[in-house]
Amino acid sequence: MRITSIALGLTVLLLAAGPLHADARKDLTGEISALASQARFEDALAKANTLIDLTKAENGGDTAAHAEALSWAAYLHLSVGDVQGATPYFERAVEIYARVLPADHPDLATSLNNLGFDRYRNGRYSESEALYRKALDIRERVLKPNDPGIADTLTNLAELYKVRERAADAIPLLNRALEIRTRSLPADSPLIASSLQNLAGAMELDPNGDKFVAAQKLLERALAIRLKTQRPDHPEVAGAISKLATNLYNQGKYSDAAGRFTEALAIRRKSQPAKHPEIAATLVGLALTMVEQKKYAEAEAQLREAVTIREQVLSPTATTLGQAQRLLARVLNMQGKHDEALDFMRRGTKIALSREQPKAKGREHLTEHLQILAHGPTTEVPADAFDEAFRIGQFAGENEAASAVAQMASRFATQDKTLRGLVHERENLDARMSILEQQLIDDLSRAPDQRKTNTRFDMAELEKRKTEIDAQLKKDFSYYFDLTTPEPLATDATAALLKPDEALISIVSGVDETFVWAITREGKAWHRAPVSWTWLERSVKALRQTLDTEDLKKNISQTGGLMDLGLSYEIYSKLLAPLEPIFKSKAHLLIVPSGPLTSLPFQVLVTKKPGIMQPSLGELGTYKDANWLILDHAISVVPSVPSLKALRTLPRRADAGKPMIGFGNPKLASRISSATEENVPVRLAEAQTRGGDPGLGDMMATRRILKHARRAARH
């Protein structure tokens, strides 16, 4: 498992001491600043509380001076590890500044930036992004182009993109932040070290290549700056060492990483409160290195402490708390402590399902939940875990196609023109918003005078209209949301949607294993298959290359290039064969694939071991004799289990008067067959694909060709 979220090292810009009306306030602010710079955060917090009392005496606290005092207190609560305690101070500061300062005042921007950081720390990413963008808009309008405050917000916004696995969007912002800080700050400024650390973290997330060695060099430069300008036991030094340890872990240098994590942990225990969340983050990193070295008891102890810290100081739904619970569950499961592992995993999953997170990260968590539910030496799993596993599997297999089907169902489930119009307009607004969001991200990496001027205004107008539409939908068409945001279906509810001759098969692909469920009206079963995501990806790609006409022409030879019947059978035998007793008698299979399987035509799976695994050109008859899945079952692919309910709310159309058969883009020619009917040569149709044929002829000729082909096939 790659570590991607151990220590972010974000900088929260604090307000400089403004023109206070009392020397006492000015002196107190100076003391707080000095104590904070020395990492004496608890002493500084005590002073900040005194400052809050002093400033509250003036005008009931409705002043910029009081908001500044609250901002100090918020920052210091974070610094001593009290994440939840910081939130009301951040919120109150923004409320006061918004009331007593002009809308474009830089101090208001700073407060918005800080509140955005608070929302980020609590996993409220959409709110965080909106606050950062608002702060950046103010700062770029009123500050000089190379003001460090602009770099702070760019950095925070980039860190948000990183945790949402949008490294490509983060890197340009981090490069611009580093450029601003390099121009405006001394070469050995700790803020430049922060930029180097953040840029290294984004490089490590780049999917297009191994950037860990290059990132390591940036981290070593950052650590050198911090050791030159900060105390050796400063928490930010520990943060730099932790990031370097993370990098070494991701390079597979587990022993070196463990040494660095241990070093960072010692500094943190000396310089930070015992329940500080950054201590928990370092413990998590150290525990992962212990797992790789098979030191499970040590990893368990470290993760238990990390969970305890996060439970005490973070929100009950904090993303990092769910992460620690999941990792502890993993280590407990490795040691055979399955019941306790399942308890912690359930807690972590509850958090994961309530938070915004990237699909890949969520799927990794949920498939680990399935692994614990399905613990044991065989591929069979406990029957009493079926319903829980089926529900978790639906979350893990969610995809964009399922959302599209739900939206489609919502449009066609009613004849109401107003509803259809609103939904159509809402979809168009979402599409336009996506374009503008990418445009805004691109703009943020450029200087203000090089940007498109109306992007933010256009986005605000679109958001306003979306809000109006949503309000009308909730008021007049509440059932619309039942279709567009469906909940996972229970086993019994799913079975009730099926017809007597149908079986539903749901497949969820994880990193190392694949989980398969089969449900009919009469029965149900599930199993775990030792099939990895990578193996499925390679296998499906290999099969598809032999099904595509153009690829087949390129790859075919006398000895190879044809469809691999053995591979087709292997996929079937690993995924579906264990569930044959449930679905074998059903004429129609409804298959819900995920991951690589979404591009697999299940019709080409072979249900019995073929006599020749990889036929050559001289063995084409093998394909005629193969036991194709499609010969025993009609097959439909369904985007998700919940979408089955949405699809079946669609109104039925009138049945056609005559049956219909369709051919996809045929190119028909004819040849003389060796078969004859009443000693008359029969002309058979040859089908080709790819592009139209201007010589196709009229439909009557086409029908004659097909008619003769059908008659010949009977004989």
Claim to verify: residue 452 and residue 500 sit in the same structural domain = no
Let me know if residue 203 belongs to a domain.
no
In angstroms, rounded to a whole number, what is the distance separating the alpha carbons of residues 82 and 79?
7
Residue 43 counted as domain residue: yes
What does the alpha-carbon distance between residue 7 and residue 194 come to, in Å, rounded to a whole number? 11
Average pLDDT, stretch 653-672?
Answer: 57
526 pairs with which residues across the strands?
517
Q: What is the pLDDT of residue 193?
A: 95
Same domain, 505 and 425: no
Based on the fold, state whether residues 136 and 15 are members of the same structural domain: yes
| Residues 584, 498 share a domain | yes
Rounded CA-CA distance 268/535 in Å is 42
Position 603 scores a pLDDT of: 93
DSSP assignment letter at 13: P
DSSP secondary structure string for all residues of 298-354: HHHHHHHHHHHHHHHHS-TT-HHHHHHHHHHHHHHHHTT-HHHHHHHHHHHHHHHHH
Same domain, residue pair 44 and 11: yes
Residue 179 lies in a domain: no
Q: Do 110 and 37 belong together in one domain?
A: yes
User: Is residue 199 included in any domain, yes or no?
Assistant: no
Per residue in 371-401, pLDDT (tens digit) is 888 875 444 556 667 889 999 988 887 654 5
Domain boundary (433, 450, 476) is at 476
Asked whether residue 696 falls in the same domain as residue 599, the answer is no
Give every CB contact of residue 305 below 8 A, 6+ residues apart in sequence.
Answer: 280, 283
Does position 81 have pLDDT exceeding 90, yes or no?
A: no
Would residue 230 count as lying in a domain?
A: no
Q: Bigger pLDDT: 10 or 576? A: 576
3-state secondary structure of 204: helix
Task: Say if residues 94 and 111 touch (Cβ distance below 8 Å).
Answer: yes
pLDDT surpassing 60 at residue 688: no
Residue 347 has pLDDT above 80, yes or no: yes
Residue 677 φ then ψ, to 5°: -125, 115
Q: Is residue 183 part of a domain?
A: no
The torsion defined by the Cα of 552, 558, 562 and 567, in degrees rounded to 10, comes to: -140
pLDDT at 422: 84
Looking at the DSSP bridge assignments, the partners of residue 515 are 508, 528
pLDDT band at 451 (very low <50, low <70, confident <90, very high): low
Which has the closest alpha carbon to 54: 72, 66, 45, 71?
66
What number is the average pLDDT over the span 422-438? 75
- 383 occurs within a structural domain: no
Q: Are 6 and 289 in contact (CB under 8 A)?
A: no
**Same-domain check for residues 548 and 578:** yes
Report which residue type is found at 333. Answer: N
Structural domains of the chain, count: 4
> What is the C-alpha separation between 280 and 285, in angstroms, rounded?
9
User: Can you give the CATH number for the domain in which 52 is found?
Assistant: 1.25.40.10
**Final residue in a domain of this structure, among 105, 140, 175:** 140
3-state SS class at 670: strand
Q: Do residues 694 and 591 both lie within one domain? A: no
Closest CA to 583 of 531, 536, 526: 526
Q: What is the rounded average pLDDT of the residues 580-594?
A: 95
Asked if pLDDT for residue 101 goes beyond 70, the answer is: yes
**Percent residues over pLDDT 90 in the chain:** 45
Q: Which of 140, 163, 190 is the last residue of a domain?
A: 140
- Calpha distance 266→288 (Å, rounded): 17
Domain carrying residue 132: 1-140
- Which residues, at least 6 apart from 127, have a Cβ–Cβ distance to it below 8 Å? 116, 119
Name the residue with higher pLDDT: 527 or 665. 527
Residue matched to tokens 């413990």: 283
- Residues 435 and 539 placed together within one structural domain of the fold: no
Q: Does 471 share its domain with 573?
A: no
Residue 411 has pLDDT above 60, yes or no: no
The label of the residue with tokens 């917090």 reads 45
- Chain mean pLDDT for the chain: 81
Summarised one tens digit per residue, pLDDT across range 230-275 is 999 999 999 999 999 999 999 999 999 999 999 999 999 999 888 8
Task: Say how far apart CA 640 and CA 648 lie, in whole Å.
Answer: 13
599 and 703 share a domain? Answer: no
Among 129, 124, 152, 144, residue whose Cα is nearest residue 15: 152
Beta carbons of 480 and 469 less than 8 angstroms apart: no
pLDDT in tens, 165-177: 788 888 899 999 9
Tens-place pLDDT, residues 460-485: 788 888 888 888 887 887 666 656 66
DSSP state of 660: -
The Cα–Cα gap between 434 and 22 comes to: 50
CB-based contact 134:112 (threshold 8 Å):
yes
Residue 37 included in any domain? yes
Task: Decide the pairing of beta strands 514-519 and 634-637.
Answer: unpaired
